[in-house]
Amino acid sequence: MKIERIEKHLVLNKYLLSLFGVEEFKELQKRLKDVEEGVDSDGRSHFINVLKSFRERKISEDALLTYDQNIQNYVRKISHKRGPIKLKYFQYLAVLFTEIVLDNLRNRKAEFIQELNEFLKDYKKKRDIDLIDEFTERDLNKIAFWMATGSGKTLIAHINYHQFFNYNLFSPDNIIFLTPNEGLSKQHFEELQKSGVPCRLYEGNLNGSRLYRGNNEVLVIEITKIVEEKKGGGLTIPVSAFEGRNLVFVDEGHKGKRSEEQKWAKIRNKLAEDGFVFEYSATFGQILDEKNKDTLKEYAKAIIFDYSYKYFYLDGYGKDFYVLNVKDIKQNKKIMENFREIMFVANMLDFYEQLLVYEKNRNIAREYNIEKPLWVFVGATVTGKGENSDVVEIVKFIRKVIKQEDWLREKVEEILSGKLRDEGGDIFRDKFHYIRELGFEVDDLYMRIFGGKGDFQVYEIKRAQGEFGLRVGDNPYFGVVNIGDTSKFKDELKKEGISIKDDAISDSLFDDIKKPDSLINILIGSKKFIEGWDTWRVSSMGLINIGKGQGPQIIQLFGRGVRLKGKDMSLKRSGEEGPLKILETLNIYSIKGDYLDEFLEAISKEGVEFETIRIPIKLLHEEKWKDLYIPAPKEGKKFEEEEVLRLSLDDKIFINLDVSIKLQKVERRKLEEDEGPEEIKLRTGQRLPEKTIHLLNWQRIWKEIYDFKIMRGYWNLVFDIDTLKTILQSDNYKVNTLPESLEVKTLDDLIRVEEIAILILKKYIDQFYKRHARRFETENMSCNHLGREYVLSGFVSSPYSYEVKITKSKENGKKNEELIKRLKELAEDLNKLCQEDHILKVICFDRHLYLPILLKKDSKDKDYDIVISPSGLVESEGKFIIGLMEYIEKNKDRFTNLEIYLLRNQSRSGIGFQLEWSRFYPDFIMWVKKPEKQIIVFIEPHGLIHAKGLDDEKIKFAHQIKEIEQSIGKKDLVLESFILSTTPYNDLIKGVASPPKQSEYERKNVLFLDDEDWPKKLFDRLLL
C-alpha cells in the first residue's frame, strides 16, 4: 500500500497538524528544518519562536511557551549524565505533539474528544475516507510514533516518561518497556541508565513484588518472555503478573508475520488494559493496510507523529543508498547465467572502493565522523533453513576469490569494461568511477580486504558462542561469521571441503568490530545485526535469508545500515560529491535476485523511490569574476583561536528577561485550586536580591553555564564563579516576573530563583560573546576576488548541477513516468527549460552569475515530492529577482555605464556576518560596478512582522556593514545592505503606538516588496 494512502488515514496526526494551520507535515518541515537547534538567550527554543509566528495556529502563545519550558525541563533531566542535548526539529515536534495530547487528556478530556470528532467529521468528507469511526476515551490510551530508525526514538521515549509523570494521568502499578528481543532490551536498559531513568533489566524474576511504585522504576523486558499462561519453568512470565494500571512503552512491536503479530498484539493489549501506552516504530508502513482494517483503524487514532523514512531521507539524514535494479538485470540472459558471481564481485568492488577512498581521505573522514567501512551480509531472520546455505554460499565465494586470482581478474574486467549492458547501457555506468580513474590493482584489493594472499582458513572462536573467524594464511582475521546453528553450519562447510580449526585463545571478533583499530572488514550472519547492534561502520550490505512478509525486519535492517554520524554529529549527509559521496552511500546487493525483489518491495512502501535528475547550470560572465570583490575574514584568523575571551561586566550590555509566561500558568493553577480565578499582576524591572545570590548552588550554576558554553561552541570563553556572581549583583539586567517570585522561603523557591539566575547568565554570555565575535570579525575582514568556491557553493560538481529528486509513484503511473522523461529532456536544453511551462518553476536572469535559478515546489502539491539541491528559492526571493529584472529592462538608460551582477548567497555555506544574536547570511549579493568604484549590496527579502521595529539586528546591519567597509579600507569599494520587507508597511505598524514612518524605514535601507517603486528607491539610495 502506497505510503501516501496510509498517511491520509492518520487522523490524530492530521488534527495536531491542523492546530498549527497546516494540512501536511512537509509544511512544518519546510519552515523548521533549517532553524537553529537549541534555545535563544531568553531561554526559549528557536523552534517555538518560529511556531509562534504561524498565523493560522489555534494554540495560544501562552500554551506554546509553557510547553516549550516543559520540554526544556525534560531535556535537562535526561542530559544530566549524557551531557548537553539539542533536539532536532522533528524530535522537538514529536515531543510538542505529546505535550498537547497529554495536556488535553489531563485538563480537558471531554472537550478534546469532542474537538477530535468534529475535526474527524470534516476530514472524512474532505479526504473521502469512511474507515475511521468516532473517537472514544478508550481510543486515547495509546499514542504512537512512526519514526525512521536513527531518528532518535530512544530519547523521545525517555522524554515521554517524564511527560507522563508531569501530567500525572494516573499512578501506574507497573512501568514496562517492551522490546522484540534480548539485544534491544540490553540496549534500552543501558540508554535508560544514561538518561537517569530508574530501570532494571528482567533476568528471570520480579522478586515477588511490584517494583515500580516508589521510584517509578521501568522494567525492560522482551515481549517474547511474557506469555498468556505460564507452563513449566524457564524465564517466561505470565501477563497476569502485571495486574493493575500499567504504563507501557513498546519498541518495534511488529514482526510482519500475521500469526506472531496477533499473539504479540494480544499480550500488548492485555498489559495496556486501563493503562497507557507509548509505542515507537519505524515500520508502520509495512503493517498498515486498508485490507487489514482493524489494525489501520487502531493506529489511525494513535499515531500522533509521522517522521517515516521518506521525511528522514529528504531532510538529508542518514546515508544515501544504491540498489541495483534486479528486474532490468533479469531481462539479460547473459548476466543471469552468472548473476551470483557478478553480484558478489560487484559488491566486493564497491566495498574495496570505499576502503580505498577511506584510507586516502582519512582527514575528511575524521572531519565528517565517518568510520572505517564494513561489509556485512545480513538477513531479516535470525534462523531458518535458508540461513546456513546462504552463509555457506558467501564463504565459498570468499574462498574462490582468494584461491582463483585469474577468475577474479576476469570478473572485475567484465564489470569495469561496460560489457554487462541493459537497455540503458552499461548496468554499472554509475559505479566505480574512482577505481576506473585510479586503475584497478588486484594485489591491493587482496591486501586491503583480506590482509594479503595465502590459504583461506576458517576458525571456530571457542571463547565466543556462534563465532567463526576468517583469515588468509597467518594474517590477522579479516572476517567473522556469527550464526545460530553452529553444528549444522560446520557440517555444511565440511561437505564443501572447507575444514574448520579451533581457536581457544582469541576473544570475540564481533566485539572487536567497534574498536577504532579493528582489522575486521567482513561480518556474515544476521543475529546480532537484527537485534539492534549499535554500529556506524556498515557501508556495504549483502542480503541473505530474506523471505516474503518480512517488511518490518527489512526496514529495520536498512535503517541501521544507513545510520550516519555526520559532521558535528548532525546525522546528515554532506551533500558533497567525490570521496564523501562514496563514503556516505550504503551499497546493497544480493547473490539472489528474489531477495532484492523483496527488499525493493519493502522500500517502495516507505515512499523513498526517487528518480534523480541533474540539471546542469550555465556559468555567466565568468571572465568578469576576477574583477568582483567579496568581503571575507582574513586567512587563518579565527576568533576562537586568536583570542582568549575572559567574561567580564560590560556596561554596554543590558539584559531584559521576561519569565512571566512561565510562572503565570503555575500561579493561575494555584489560584484556581485555592480561591478561583484572580487577576495576576506582574512586577517589572526586578533584580535578584543580594542575600539570595549567596544562597544559590554555585557549583550547579557553573556546570550549567559550562555546558551552555560547550553547546554554543564558545571554546575560547573563560569564566569563574566570582564573575558570574558579579553579573547577577550588577544593574546590567532586569527581570519581569510575578510578585514574590524572587523571594526565597522554601527549597522550591530557591530552585526557581536558581533557574532564573541561569537564564540571566546565559542571555548575558550570549550577548557578550557575540559582541566580541562581531568586533573581531569587523577588525579582521579583508577583500577577496570572487571565485568558484563562492558562486558554486552547494552544487553537485562534474558538471556543476542542481540535483532534483522526484518521487516515483505507482499510483500516478504513466503521468509520473512522463514527468520524469520530460524533465530529463529539459535538463539537456537550457533554452527550453527557461522558456517553456513545466513542473519546475524557473527564473532565467542574464545578470545572475549562473542559469537557471530554480524555485521551490509548492508544499501543498500532494501528487509528488520534488526536492531540489541546492534548495530552490522561496516565493519572496523569486519576486525580488523578477522585480529587479523588470526594472533594469525598462530603465536601460539608467544603467548605460554600469555593470550589474547578482548571486544567490547560499545559507550557511555562503558569505555570512556575525550579528548581535546570530550569524546572518543575506539571500543575495549584487555588484554594481562603475569605472571608478564597486558597490557590493547585500539584499535580504525578509518578513518583518516579528521584528523589533528599527532596532531589529538585520536592519541595524546596514550600519554595521559600513564599519566593515572602513575596516577593509579599500577606497574603490562601497558596502551596503538592504532589507526588502515581504510584510507590507501597513501590516507592520498595526497596533504599534507612534510607529516609525515608511520614510524612516527607507532611510534605514528597509524597502517594501509590495511598493512597486522599490527598485527605483534602492538604486536612488545607492546614488546611481
Residues 738-751: tens digit of each pLDDT? 767 788 888 888 98
Question: Do 838 and 886 fall within a single domain?
Answer: no
b vs e for 122-134, b when ≥16 Cβ sit within 10 Å of the residue's Cβ?
A: ebeeeeebeebee
Tell me the pTM.
Answer: 0.78
Same domain, 777 and 796: no
Residue with cell 550472519: 525
Provide the pLDDT for residue 680: 47
Decide if 592 is inside a domain: yes
- Say what the pLDDT of residue 676 is: 45
- CB atoms inside a 10 Å sphere around CB 473: 13
| Secondary structure (DSSP) of 939-980 | EEEE--TTS-GGG-HHHHHHHHHHHHHHHHT-TTEEEEEEEE
Which residue, of 567, 586, 608, is where some domain finishes?
A: 608
As a whole number, mean pLDDT of residues 588-609 equals 71
Distance CA 192, CA 170 (A): 22
Give how far Cα 782 sits from Cα of 85, 589, 773, Å: 36, 51, 16
Query: Does residue 834 fall inside a structural domain?
Result: yes
CA 787 remoteness from chain centre: 31
What values do phi and psi take at 506, rounded to 5?
A: -65, 145
Q: How far apart are CA 144 and CA 281, in angstroms?
A: 8
Instruction: Note the pLDDT of residue 562.
Output: 86
C-alpha distances in angstroms, 118 versus 12, 111, 797? 12, 10, 52
pLDDT at residue 657 in the model: 84
* CB-CB contact of 63 with 48 (8 Å): no
Whether 448 and 504 map to the same domain: the answer is yes
> pLDDT by residue (tens digit) across 10-69?
999 999 999 999 999 988 998 898 888 888 777 789 999 899 988 889 999 889 999 998
359 and 501 part of one domain: yes
Q: Looking at the predicted structure, is the pLDDT value of residue 102 above 90?
A: yes
Query: What pLDDT sits at residue 677?
Result: 43
Alpha-helix runs per DSSP H in 496-550 = 509-512, 527-530
**How far from the centroid of its chain's Cα atoms is residue 644's Cα?**
33
Same domain, 1001 and 867: no
- pLDDT recorded at residue 659: 73
Does 679 score more than 50 pLDDT? no
The answer to whether position 690 is within a domain reads yes
Predicted pLDDT at 212? 44
**For 125-134, how does the pLDDT look when each residue is reduced to its tens digit (9 = 90+)?**
888 787 788 9
Mean pLDDT of 903-915: 81
Supply angle C-alpha 121, 54, 1003, rounded to 5.
155
Asked if 929 and 627 count as a contact pair (C-beta separation under 8 A), the reply is: yes
pLDDT at residue 261 tops 90: no
Per the rule left: phi > 0, alpha: psi between -120 and 50, beta: everything else, 957 is alpha
For 116, the enclosing helix (H) or strand (E) is helix 109-127
Say yes or no: 818 and 778 in one domain: no
What average pLDDT score do residues 276-282 get?
93
Nearest to 267, CA basis, from 362, 180, 201: 180
Instruction: For 703-728, write each residue's pLDDT tens digit.
Output: 989 988 887 889 999 999 999 999 99
Q: Specify the range with the lowest mean pLDDT, choosing from 78-92, 315-329, 782-796.
A: 315-329
Give the model's pLDDT for residue 866.
79
Classify residue 377: in a domain, yes or no: yes
407 lies in some domain = yes
Residue 176 per-residue DSSP state: E
Q: What is the mean pLDDT of residues 988-1014?
A: 91
Domain assignment present for 526: yes
Q: How confident is the model at residue 628 (pLDDT cuts 50, 70, 90)?
A: very high
| Residue 666 scores a pLDDT above 60 | no
Tell whether the model's pLDDT for residue 268 goes beyond 70. yes
Q: The domain that contains 1018 carries what CATH number?
A: 3.40.1350
Cell for 611? 528518480
Q: Tell me if 404 sits within 8 A of 390, measured CB to CB.
A: no
Kindly state whether residue 138 falls inside one of the protein's structural domains: no
- Residue 861 has a pLDDT of 52
The pLDDT value given to residue 25: 92
Question: Residues 894, 862: one domain?
Answer: no
Give me the pLDDT at residue 382, please: 40
Residue 673: what pLDDT? 45
* Same domain, yes or no: 558 and 697: no
Query: Is residue 607 helix, strand or coil?
Result: coil
Residues 536 and 415 in one domain: yes
Q: What is the mean pLDDT of the chain?
A: 85
904 phi, psi to nearest 5 deg: -75, 125
Specify the amino acid at residue 838. Answer: H
Amino acid letter, 887: Y
**pLDDT of 387:** 52
Q: How confident is the model at residue 648 (pLDDT cuts 50, 70, 90)?
A: very high
Residue 741 domain boundaries: 639-782
Q: Would you say the C-alpha torsion 1014, 1016, 1017, 1023 has a positive or negative sign?
A: positive
Cell of 378: 545480513
> 3-class SS at 172?
coil
Q: Which of 761, 782, 803 is the last residue of a domain?
A: 782
pLDDT at 890: 95
The domain boundary residue, chosen from 734, 754, 782: 782
Whether 335 and 466 share a structural domain: yes
pLDDT for res 82: 85
**pLDDT tens figures, 920-977:** 889 999 999 998 899 999 999 987 766 667 888 888 899 999 999 999 999 999 999 9
pLDDT digits 0-9 by tens, 291-344: 678 888 889 999 999 998 888 888 889 998 888 765 555 555 555 667 788 889
CA end-to-end span of the chain: 61
| C-alpha pair distances (Å), 425 with each of 411, 429, 582, 611, 827 | 18, 7, 22, 17, 20
Pairing status of strand 717-718 against strand 645-646? parallel
Asked if residue 947 lies in contact with residue 955, where contact means CB atoms within 8 angstroms, the answer is yes
Place of cell 569563574: 720
Question: Does 659 lie in the same domain as 529?
Answer: no
Supply the pLDDT for residue 1010. Answer: 93
Residue 384 has pLDDT above 60, yes or no: no
Which pLDDT value is given to residue 8?
Answer: 85
Listed in sequence order, the residues at least 6 apart from 871 whose beta carbon sits closer than 8 Å to its beta carbon are 856, 907
Q: For the CA atoms of the chain, what is the radius of gyration?
A: 31
Length of the chain: 1024
> 155-169, 256-270, 282-296, 957-971 — which is least confidently predicted?
256-270
| Choice between 798 and 444, residue whose per-residue pLDDT is larger | 444
- Own/partner contacts of 635-642, CB < 8 Å, gap of 24 or more, are 635/782, 637/780, 639/716, 639/772, 639/773, 639/776, 639/777, 640/713, 640/714, 640/715, 640/716, 641/716, 642/776
Query: Are the C-beta atoms of 930 and 897 separated by less than 8 Å?
Result: yes
pLDDT at residue 332, as a whole number:
57
| Statement: residue 877 has pLDDT above 80 | yes
Mean pLDDT comparison of 384-388, 777-781, 917-921, highest-scoring range: 777-781
Share of the chain above pLDDT 90, in %: 46
Question: What does each C-alpha distance from 695 to 307, 483, 689, 705, 744 come to in angstroms?
Answer: 45, 60, 10, 18, 9
Cβ-proximal residues to 698 (8 Å cutoff; 6+ apart), any chain? 721, 724, 725
Q: How far is CA 630 from CA 63, 781, 965, in A?
A: 45, 10, 11
Residues 776 and 798 in one domain: no
Please, is 678 exposed, middle or buried when counting C-beta atoms within 10 Å of its C-beta (0-12, 13-18, 19+)?
A: exposed
Considering the domain boundaries, does residue 409 fall inside one?
yes
pLDDT (tens digit per residue) in 347-373? 999 999 999 999 999 988 998 999 999
**In the prediction, which pLDDT does 604 show?**
67
- 549-557 average pLDDT score: 69
Encode pLDDT of 169-228 as tens digits.
Answer: 999 999 999 998 888 899 899 999 999 999 999 987 766 444 444 589 999 999 889 888
**Number of structural domains in the chain:** 4
